[in-house]
Every structure is written in C-alpha cells, then in structure tokens.
C-alpha cells in the first residue's frame, strides 16, 4: 500500500477514535446498550419498545413501582428517552414519598433520573400530559425531589402529615 494511503487511513482512524473517546467521556455510558443506544440517538434512529413502555405505565398506575421500573428499563435500555426517564424518576418519587419522612436513597435516584430526562429532552424541557400525574413537567418533579432531600426546619412542621403525595 502506498505511504500516502496508509497515512490518510491512519489519520481518519485516529480522528474517529479520538472523537469516540471524547463522546464516551461526555456521555459516561454505564453499559454496552447505552453506548449503542447513544449512537442511535445521536443520529436520530433510537426507538423505545412501545409495548414495554405501556406495561410500565400500567404498573406505575397500580403503584407497582419496582415492576414499572423493570418494564421502563426494558423499554429504554440505553436511557435515551426523556419521557421514559421521567416516568422512572416519578416512580422513585412516589415510592419514596412518606407522610412522616421521605426515603432519601429513592429520592436521590429519582433526582438522577429526572436530570437524565431533562438532559435528553429537546432544550431541556420535558412535559408529560398524563392525567394520572400531578406534576407534569421535569422542573416540578425535580423541585419536589430536591425539596424532599433538603434538611430544613419545615421537616419538623407537624402540618406536613396532612400533605398529599403528588
């Protein structure tokens, strides 16, 4: 093979590989499915599994949150779909909500998921028009999760036992 051809191929390979590495460091994928899904999403060809998503929504409506998350993870294995991630965050919120205290671990995971949902949504704006939800935007859900994780004097307000899960 000619010298110039080798150099040209090498340059293209190196630039492509470096771009791939930079993309990995920015995206921080957690699995091979996230890597392939992320690539598909970047070229606009990523699709969730609609059947698994519908199953997840049904489980969610029946307060079976762990089952709902399993279905949502199956629907969106690459964690690239904003709406599915929003539902996952919401499931953590509802499961972690308590009249006397909030489960910090579940709320923290919910916050991670809603941040992911907002990062994937166009312009960072996510809105889910589901009549079963009291909070339909990413901002509302995020604020509620952050409030649940915050320690302040309002935590000792006895009137909080009258608050309702959203």
Applying CB under 8 A, which residues contact other proteins? 3-4, 6-11, 13-15, 17-18, 21, 24-25, 28-31
Question: Based on CB atoms, which residue is closest to other proteins, 22 or 143?
Answer: 22
Q: Residue 113 CB, nearest distance to other proteins (Å)?
A: 14
Residues forming a β-bridge with 92: none
Question: Based on CB atoms, which residue is closest to other proteins, 24 or 147?
Answer: 24
What distance in Å separates the CA atoms of residue 105 and residue 157, rounded to the nearest whole number?
Answer: 22
What distance in Å separates the CA atoms of residue 150 and residue 88, rounded to the nearest whole number?
Answer: 21
Q: Residue 88 CB, nearest distance to other proteins (Å)?
A: 16
Token pair for 118? 């907002």
What distance in Å separates the CA atoms of residue 81 and residue 79, rounded to the nearest whole number?
Answer: 6
Q: DSSP character for 44?
A: T
Q: Residue 111 CB, nearest distance to other proteins (Å)?
A: 16
What distance in Å separates the CA atoms of residue 57 and residue 119, rounded to the nearest whole number?
Answer: 22
Handedness of CA 36, 42, 47, 48 (dihedral sign): positive
**Please, which residues have CB within 8 angstroms of residue 38's CB and are 6 or more apart in sequence?**
23, 27, 29, 78, 80
Q: DSSP character for 19?
A: H
Question: Based on CB atoms, which residue is closest to other proteins, 3 or 152?
Answer: 3
Question: Based on CB atoms, which residue is closest to other proteins, 34 or 139?
Answer: 34
Q: Residue 31 CB, nearest distance to other proteins (Å)?
A: 8
Question: Based on CB atoms, which residue is closest to other proteins, 103 or 112?
Answer: 112
Q: Residue 6 CB, nearest distance to other proteins (Å)?
A: 5
């Amino acid at each position: 093979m000619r010298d110039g051809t080798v150099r040209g191929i090498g340059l293209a390979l190196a630039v492509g590989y470096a771009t791939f590495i930079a993309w990995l460091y920015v995206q921080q994928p957690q699995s091979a499915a996230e890597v392939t899904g992320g690539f598909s999403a970047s070229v606009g060809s990523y699709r969730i599994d609609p059947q698994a998503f519908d199953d997840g929504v049904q489980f969610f409506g029946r307060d079976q949150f762990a089952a709902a998350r399993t279905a949502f993870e199956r629907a969106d294995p690459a964690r690239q779909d904003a709406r599915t991630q929003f539902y996952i965050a919401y499931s953590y919120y509802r499961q972690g909500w308590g009249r006397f205290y909030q489960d910090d671990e579940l709320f923290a995971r919910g916050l991670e998921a809603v941040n992911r949902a907002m990062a994937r949504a166009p312009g960072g704006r996510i809105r889910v028009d589901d009549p079963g939800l009291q909070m339909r935007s990413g901002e509302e859900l995020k604020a509620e999760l952050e409030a649940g994780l915050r320690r302040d004097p309002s935590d000792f307000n006895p009137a909080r036992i009258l608050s309702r899960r959203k």
